[in-house]
Amino acid sequence: MKSVLFILLSGIFCAGVFAADRPNVVVIIADDLGYADMSFLPDAPADVKKYGTPGFDRLARSGTYFRNAYAAGSICSVSRAGLLTGRYPYRWGNYYFGQGSLPEGTCTMPQALHDAGYRTAKYGKTHLDGWGPRLLPTQHGFDEFLGFLGSTWDYIRLSSKDVDAYKARAGFKRMGFQLVGPLLKLNGLGATMKDAEYVSFENQSTTGIFTDQACDYIDRKKDGKPFYLHVSYNAVHHPSYVVEETWARKVGARYVPWDRDVAEWQFPYWEPNKESNDEFHKKWGHMGTVDPEGRRCYLANLLALDSGISKLLDSLEKSGQRENTLVVFMSDNGGTINTYANNAPLRGYKYMLGDGGIRVPMIISMPGTFPQGAVNESALVSAMDIFPTLAELAGIEVPKDLDGKSLLPVLRNKVDTQHQWLAWAQNKNSWVLRMNKWKLTHNAGWSHANYKLDEKGDAFSANELIRYPNEAQLFNLETNIGETINRIDQYPEIVNEMRAFYASWEEQMPEPFRLKK
């Protein structure tokens, strides 16, 4: 692997050219959405079909759903860096948690659009991990931001009073994953934390807030000048056991009102007088205890997210901007077992390099410009393709060394293929190469307890493990999408070709980045 130093110091800058009749762009990112958890899909589970996802279904009817779409990584921070830059995050040593933000000089999608005259705004989760000023959305291309920077945030405890309540009760106990309190607001390209405001909300949810902010932005920007709007929900990420009353009632999920003044907080809220936050998170955040209500709570947050999609589409239509707006929807990575997502028929979950961790739902829609109600079964596409796609559509020049490719030829039905191959890695020993129908894996994931649902929809431990061996395996994803039949002994020539190809690709990538102590 190459040294990361040259990559961090080499500048790659955006070059913009102005084009007439440029479309608006709305990019919507779900967090840890299950691959099967949309009701228009043939693999949608019975509970999703029962309640329906009219927002997702409506978006799919207006565009193209890609069945072979992949994230740039199996976790949030890596995949989001790939989406923003159109490049493998591994190119600057970003393979897993805490291994890098955005190197100085790296061109980003919002920066390129901003330089070309687009107004830019982001509402929701950022989570680029690592360090440095470019973690801030206003430091990599956005004019406006309201949301949070880390991996997760509470859905409803969004007030400074909630922070004060926890500080008073927890004392010196570590807060850990108890991320509650106001949302961060930044205004103006280049704004830093010195310019930050913290905005408290009472009796609202992040899903609703991000939707309302985005709808307001759409209405404010209906003057004909192009805008790029990035709506990055934290739904359906942990802590999905925290739910809104409206959606909890709809799916029959457990609902416990939040009252910061009661003597003792009950689950799903952490009570510092009972246990440490590490103990609480280990029990409820990582499947230490299977929550019978877990799947229903996930569904409640899923329906809230789906409602947000509907409202965004309504706003575009009511403001007369739907026909001139490209809408991109995808999940940042695969669904996670921690929140009871359903990735059928794929194997594995977030964190793993099984397709359940990296293959994601993706819909691209622009009625009147691209086909509607289409399903692309064959093209191998990546989140890294979004940047060059938007750039070509808007007439913007971008760096020549992007790993992503414009999807416009596929969307216009001029070609039926996109990438011949895509690669992923978490370290030297854990990697994957997808080449056409074949997938070569090496130690693609760690073990994790599974769960099942009974006839009432209650979750229970299945005492099963998802385990990939510490060796290479070969799968034919056309005939065995669930990655259960290892073909490595039957196709040695294909294996050798793919091993050599991966080795050549790996040589271009630096070692995982580590901060010096």
What pLDDT is recorded for position 4? 41
More confident residue, 399 or 188: 188
Inside any domain, residue 202: yes
- DSSP assignment of 360-398, as one string? --EEEE-BTTB-SSEEE-S--EEGGGHHHHHHHHHT-B-
**166-182 average pLDDT score:** 86
Say what angle helices 294-318 and 54-61 make with each other, to 10 degrees.
50
* 454 phi and psi angles, rounded to 5 deg: -85, -175
What pLDDT is recorded for position 1? 52
What pLDDT is recorded for position 5? 39
Inside any domain, residue 300: yes
Inside any domain, residue 426: no
417, pLDDT greater than 80: yes
Lowest-pLDDT range of 126-130, 299-303, 397-401, 445-449: 445-449
Tally of structural domains, the chain:
1
Contact criterion met (CB below 8 Å) for 272 and 170: yes
Lowest-pLDDT range of 189-198, 443-452, 482-491, 494-503: 443-452
215: which 2 tokens?
Answer: 């709808």
What pLDDT is recorded for position 93? 86
3-state secondary structure of 134: helix
Closest by CA to 28, choosing from 336, 259, 361, 422, is 361
What pLDDT is recorded for position 17? 40
- Report the alpha-carbon distance of residue 276 to residue 363 in Å, rounded: 41
- Report the alpha-carbon distance of residue 100 to residue 105 in Å, rounded: 14
% residues pLDDT > 90 (the chain): 77
Q: Give the Å distances, CA to CA, from 359 to 27, 32, 266, 352, 475.
A: 18, 11, 36, 11, 15
Contact criterion met (CB below 8 Å) for 502 and 353: no
What pLDDT is recorded for position 30? 98
Contact criterion met (CB below 8 Å) for 36 and 349: no
Structure-token match 């799916």, residue found: 251
Which helix (H) or strand (E) element contains residue 124?
A: strand 119-125
Q: How far is C-alpha 61 from the chain's CA centre? A: 22
User: Binning pLDDT at 50, 70 and 90, where does residue 10 land?
Assistant: very low
What pLDDT is recorded for position 88? 95
CATH number at residue 29: 3.40.720.10
- DSSP classification of residue 503: H
Inside any domain, residue 273: yes
- Report the alpha-carbon distance of residue 206 to residue 184 in Å, rounded: 12
462: which 2 tokens?
Answer: 């299945």
What sign results for the dihedral spanned by CA atoms 202, 203, 206, 207?
A: negative
What sign results for the dihedral spanned by CA atoms 461, 248, 305, 101?
A: negative
Inside any domain, residue 39: yes
455: which 2 tokens?
Answer: 């006839």
Domain range enclosing 143: 20-420
3-state secondary structure of 514: coil
Inside any domain, residue 67: yes
- DSSP classification of residue 383: G
Closest by CA to 413, choosing from 370, 476, 472, is 370
8, pLDDT greater than 50: no
Closest by CA to 341, choosing from 40, 38, 127, is 38
Inside any domain, residue 499: no
Inside any domain, residue 385: yes
User: Binning pLDDT at 50, 70 and 90, where does residue 511 land?
Assistant: confident
Closest by CA to 433, choosing from 510, 345, 513, 497, is 497
**122-132 average pLDDT score:** 84
Residue pLDDT, tens place only, 138-167: 999 999 999 999 889 999 999 999 999 999
What pLDDT is recorded for position 477? 98
Q: Is 446 left (phi over 0), alpha (psi -120 to 50) or beta?
A: beta
Residue pLDDT, tens place only, 432-491: 999 999 999 999 886 666 788 999 999 998 877 767 888 999 999 999 999 999 999 999
**What ranges in 258-340 are assigned the alpha helix state H?**
277-284, 294-318
**491-497 average pLDDT score:** 98
Residue pLDDT, tens place only, 331-380: 999 999 889 999 999 999 999 999 999 999 999 999 999 999 999 999 99
What pLDDT is recorded for position 101? 73
**Radius of gyration, CA atoms only, the chain:** 22
515, pLDDT greater than 70: no
Respond yes or no on whether the N-terminal peptide bond of residue 103 is cis (omega within 30° of 0). no
- DSSP classification of residue 376: E
Residue pLDDT, tens place only, 240-263: 999 999 999 999 999 999 999 999
Strand 227-232's sheet: what is its strand order?
197-199, 183-187, 144-148, 119-125, 227-232, 24-30, 325-331, 362-365, 63-66, 374-376
User: Binning pLDDT at 50, 70 and 90, where does residue 13 land?
Assistant: very low
Q: Mean pLDDT score of the chain, rounded to an integer? A: 91
